[in-house]
Amino acid sequence: MDAYEVVIIGGGLGGLTCGAALTRRGKKTLLLERNPSLGGYQATYKRSGFVIEPCLHMMAEGGPEGALTRLLEHLALKQKVRFSRFDPTSHFVFPDRTVRVPKEVSEFVSMLKGMFPNEAAGIEGVFDRMNRIAQDLGESPETSPLVAQYAPRVMKDLLDEFTREQELRAIIAAYGTYFGLPPSRISSLLVSAFTASVVFNGAFLPVGGIRTLVDALEETIRGHGGEIRESAPVQTISVRDGRVTGVLLESGEEIRAETVVSNADARTTFLSMIGREALPENLRAQLDKARPMCSAFNVFLGVKAEGLGLEEMAPAICLLPDYDLDGQYEAMQRGDMERNNAWIGIPTLTNPFMAPDGHHLVVLYATLPYRLAGISWKDKKKDFVERMIDRTEQAIPGLRKNIVLVDAATPDTLVRYTGNMEGAVAGWECSPEVDALRPPNQTPIDGLYLAGHWTAPGPGTGSVMQSGLIAASLIP
């Protein structure tokens, strides 16, 4: 049996970032990934000349002063991974108007004030408040009175302080739809942090695709003497007298380690890999009570560019059937794709290499519950694909006749490829009550740490990478 200082379970961005930080410190590290390739939700694949990034529409904090850029600088990867900023940042397509989110926040605020002249003070106030929350979350989350004030509050509470104008409220809260909860349920901290980050500092994608980031992290690990084994699923985490001693692979191989970091789904980590009886009572209760985020239905379309005018569009477009985000959430619960909101990504506007010449890739994303009453994803996949294409035609007329490739990922696909419980898009549900149950990076089991979207600080690629750094920093 080999012995390692650290074994990392899972090669998603959380596990890879943790591995990069640890190997740079000289830790003897082994990363075990159950799939044949690395990346988790950020793994990419090729189909008929198109490069598909199934789980990426935009990244936050990729600007010169952004948290993601600083994180990459910390890992000496700033030169290897560069980001391209969207311009415009997004389009929100309502039935009666398209709201363009321009690159400059001042332009956006002026535009909204022009659209809602009676709400000028509220518009200034709400963006200022969200931005201050975002700054405090980045700099001093534990000591910030603002963070403490808004931690138990939902986005509706924050909106109520600044405006009662329903159309304006939907525009301000629209970025929250990515996370599959409506203003009445979603954390005001999360929506503030994400919206302020994107509206003030921009939305980004890595130049050359997300593969450049995954590859750079892999090279860092291997380059500093770390080992990576793909197709190596872990079955159990061995624990003796309350302390981890290593892992057992599904193949039967045992590997000793002083420390284990799990990047896998939190319930799988604690309840399957360790076992309920070995857990403290409060952790068991926490895991039973916390709910995963909803899942998503995804369609990937290769299209001929001719005549579609995609070059005039934003790389991220939100389709909103009306101004009632709570109503859209109810529709989502019923699987009503026509009344739910959805996102369209056009990654080839940033990375043309992802499609053959004269073509674009159009990625459709709609949040959905993992289980829809009476529905088997296998049987209904085709039907959902068609309904999503119909829906997208409203924003991109002529789309259907230009399609040359159709692929799709159902909630079951997300589970199958990554093991994420119920195909959850980004870990735990983003409500204040579930966020309070989020297990921290250091677990009650001696020598066991967590990295990824099932632990702190939270959802999204940047936060997931941050969690990898935090876990690494906690390991003595």
Residues at the site binding ligand FAD, with contacts judged by CB under 6 A: 9-15, 32-35, 40-42, 55-59, 233-234, 263-264, 296, 298, 365, 414, 418-420, 425-426, 452-453, 459-461, 464
- The CB density around residue 121, as the number of other CB atoms within 10 Å, is 11
Specify the residue, 19 or 183, whose C-beta has the smaller distance to ligand FAD: 19
Q: Are 475 and 449 in contact (CB under 8 A)?
A: yes
The letter for the amino acid at 177 is T
Six-digit token string for 456: 């702190």
Closest alpha carbon to 290 in 455, 434, 443: 434
Specify the residue, 162 or 204, whose C-beta has the smaller distance to ligand FAD: 204
Specify the residue, 168 or 354, whose C-beta has the smaller distance to ligand FAD: 354
Specify the residue, 292 or 432, whose C-beta has the smaller distance to ligand FAD: 292
> Alpha helix locations (H) across 54-187?
67-74, 105-115, 120-139, 145-150, 155-162, 166-173
Specify the residue, 144 or 463, whose C-beta has the smaller distance to ligand FAD: 463
Q: 25 to each of 22, 123, 473, how far by Cα in Å?
A: 5, 46, 10
Specify the residue, 118 or 251, whose C-beta has the smaller distance to ligand FAD: 251
- The CB density around residue 364, as the number of other CB atoms within 10 Å, is 23
The residues that bridge with 236 in the sheet, in sequence order, are: 248
Specify the residue, 188 or 418, whose C-beta has the smaller distance to ligand FAD: 418
Residue 435: CB minimum distance to ligand FAD, A: 15
Task: Work out the angle at residue 381's Cα, subtended by the Cα atoms of residues 376 and 382, and round it to the nearest 5 degrees.
Answer: 135
Backbone angles phi, psi at 358, to 5 degrees: 75, 10
Residue 120: CB minimum distance to ligand FAD, A: 32
Residue 302: CB minimum distance to ligand FAD, A: 18
Residue 215: CB minimum distance to ligand FAD, A: 15
Residue 34: CB minimum distance to ligand FAD, A: 4
Q: Are 65 and 138 in contact (CB under 8 A)?
A: no
Residue 376: CB minimum distance to ligand FAD, A: 20
Residue 363: CB minimum distance to ligand FAD, A: 9
Q: Are 303 and 399 in contact (CB under 8 A)?
A: yes
Six-digit token string for 316: 């991220």
